[in-house]
């Protein structure tokens, strides 16, 4: 009977450990020095591929295809666990922003917490796919 109880306890412990949110930090890669890509659409419904490269103090938003009226940009950032703070963006002067971020199996999710700059919000929020090679590599 003791063996049965011990086996049940071990199985329960492994089950709880597998579901525990505390394990996410061990499997979630850092955002620094990663690159992500997706297809964006503008107000005219024209689509174009973009990439965002994250560094420790800034991100670079890069057009991978020509897009009329759109340009590459950069912004100063602070990356916190699960939160991205944009503190200096020439395209949105005086407008700081906060986004929640999470990574699940090579997919980055950016969700607006606060951002008064509609253009940045449209460009940044949403689902991004991991882009290899990393930042600074030649395509």
14-18 LR contacts (CB < 8 Å, sep 24+): none
Query: What is the pLDDT at residue 135?
Result: 58
What pLDDT, on a 0 to 100 scale, did the predictor assign at position 98?
A: 98
Q: Note down the domain range covering 93.
A: 29-130
- Give the pairing of strands 58-63 and 73-80: antiparallel
pLDDT for residue 132:
80
pLDDT number for residue 44:
84
Q: What is the pLDDT of residue 70?
A: 87
Tell me if 123 is assigned to some domain. yes
In a domain, 138, yes or no: no
* Two structure tokens written together for 1: 């009977």
Give the total number of structural domains in the chain: 1
CA distance 97 to 90: 13
Q: What is the pTM of this model?
A: 0.73
Contact 51, 74 (CB under 8 A): no
Question: Which domain CATH number covers 75?
Answer: 2.40.128
Consecutive sets of 10 residues in the chain, 139 residues long: mean pLDDT of each? Answer: 54 47 45 94 90 95 90 94 94 94 95 96 96 63
């Amino acid at each position: 009977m003791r063996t049965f109880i011990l086996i049940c306890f071990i199985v329960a412990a492994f089950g709880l450990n597998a579901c525990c949110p505390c394990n996410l930090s061990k499997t979630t890669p850092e955002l620094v020095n990663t690159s992500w890509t997706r297809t964006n659409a503008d107000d005219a419904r024209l689509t174009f591929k973009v990439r965002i490269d994250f560094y420790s103090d800034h991100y670079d938003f890069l057009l991978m295809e020509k897009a009329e009226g759109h340009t590459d940009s950069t912004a100063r950032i602070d990356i916190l666990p699960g939160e991205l703070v944009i503190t200096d963006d020439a395209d949105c002067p005086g407008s700081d922003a906060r986004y929640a971020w999470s990574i699940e199996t090579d997919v980055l999710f950016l969700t607006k917490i606060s951002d008064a700059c509609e253009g940045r919000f449209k460009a940044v929020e949403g689902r991004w796919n991991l882009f290899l090679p990393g930042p600074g590599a030649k395509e």
